[in-house]
Amino acid sequence: IKHCAANRIPVIPYGAGTSVEGHVNAIHGGICLDMNQICFVEAFENEDGIPDAVAKVGAGTTRKSLNEALRHSGMQFVVDPGADATIGGMVATGASGTTAVKYGTMRENILGLECVLPDGTIARCGTAALKSSAGYDLTSLMTGSEGTLGVITSVTVKLHPIPEHVMAAKCVFENLKEAAEAVAALKLCNVDLGRCELLDETSIDAFNMYNEGKTTEKIEQMEVRPTIFFEFQGPSGSVVEEQVRITQAICTEDFGGSNFQCASDEEERRQLWSARHSLYYASIALRPGSTGAIVTDVCVPLSKFASLITATAQDVRDLGVVGPCFGHAGDGNFHCILPLLETDTEEHTARIHKVNENLIERTLEAGGTCTGEHGIGYGKMKYLESQYGPGGVQMMRTIKQAIDPLNIMNPGKVIPNPGM
């Protein structure tokens, strides 16, 4: 890093390469740091071997390898973005995923980190203590900074006990609005949901077609209606069963849900969540020959979630484009995947972009954010000022200039150029 600073060479940290917003693209050249070499897991425990629910992890450690190292301890790292991302990359983008409804995002699951600043200084942010009021919250500053303020080298993460009892379920609905409203009602009733994922009809259709084309591990075809996937976790079977009972009653009696099915078998649950995590690829497959897509990532207050997702699904239909809508309904975060073809006409591409523009405009009007978990990268920079106003963006520029005056840390990401 010191060499790069002396020679004004851009530095781009690279983890698992699972980002969807171009974070690791070297748009101004420079060097790419392979963070996968910094891979370790250190548990915290006292002299009697009693562990803390904390571990220090190398930034290049992947989510799955961390949990593999922890599996005999009875503990787990809970943030699950779907992809097997590195912990450093997950911190850098402020990632979350299907478990955020219960455990929160990366911001709620890290206590501290170490990083190298643009001049080569090693900085320690946070501690292994569960709380601290000492000075500025540097851990939060670095979380979501996307490599623009420094290179994260290690992270102190929170761990959670592996639940004793787990059950999954799914419920279908007559329309998307009722399904989304059911989720808001469940949250207001304080039902302890482990996961809560909403899929529209196009998403279910996409999965069925994608699954049909597989030669192994085929899963039973699903009814093509808006569907919620649930997971319930608890210390006893009776606790989980009560959560399921309340959820079923609210969904079916208050919001017209039907065909409420439970799965307690581990393989059945694995198949259900495998279906959810395959939806990006299933969505792309709806347009044969597609090599990429516009991936939206908005998040709104739950009171606005039903109207926003239904309006977006209606836009997709009205504009005649392909765009499955699905996401983390329990925290108001969803994605619309809009596949692109090289042969798309300008007029068709404009309609695809119109869906995205309408979605973000409605999101910001509703008090939401243009990105709930993917980050800004360079794909969403133009929306930053609309979300935070000129003053908010200027404050970010001031921080960036103070820490990285030479602009060598992942330049061209997060902070838009003046007038952009």
- Whether 2-161 shares its CATH topology with 165-279 is answered no
Confidence of residue 252 (pLDDT cuts 50, 70, 90): very high
Q: What is the pLDDT of residues 328-370, one digit of tens each?
A: 999 999 999 999 999 999 999 999 999 999 999 999 999 999 9
pLDDT tens-digit map of 76-114: 999 999 889 999 999 999 999 999 999 999 999 999 999
DSSP string, 87-132: HHHHHHHT---TTHHHH--GGGSEEEEEEE-TTS-EEEEE-SSS--
Are residues 375 and 21 in contact, defined by beta-carbon separation less than 8 angstroms?
A: yes
The residues spanned by each domain of the chain are 2-161, 165-279, 283-365
Mean pLDDT estimate for the chain: 94
- Domain 165-279 CATH assignment equals 3.30.70.2190: yes
SS (H, E, C) 173-227: CCCHHHHHHHHHHHHHCCCCCCEEEEECHHHHHHHHHHHHCCCCCCCCCCCCCCE
HSE of 116, CA atoms in CB hemisphere, 13 A: 17
The predicted model gives 117-122 an average pLDDT of 98
Dihedral of alpha carbons 342, 345, 346, 347, sign: negative
DSSP 3-state of 359: helix
CA distance 255 to 173: 8
Q: Contact 154/114 with Cβ under 8 angstroms? A: yes
CATH code reported for the domain at 283-365: 3.30.70.2740
* CATH 3.30.465.10 is right for the domain spanning 2-161: yes
The span from the CA of 201 to the CA of 209, in Å, is 12
What is the spatial distance between Cα 376 and Cα 396, in angstroms, rounded to a whole number? 13
Neighbours of 398 (CB within 10 A): 10
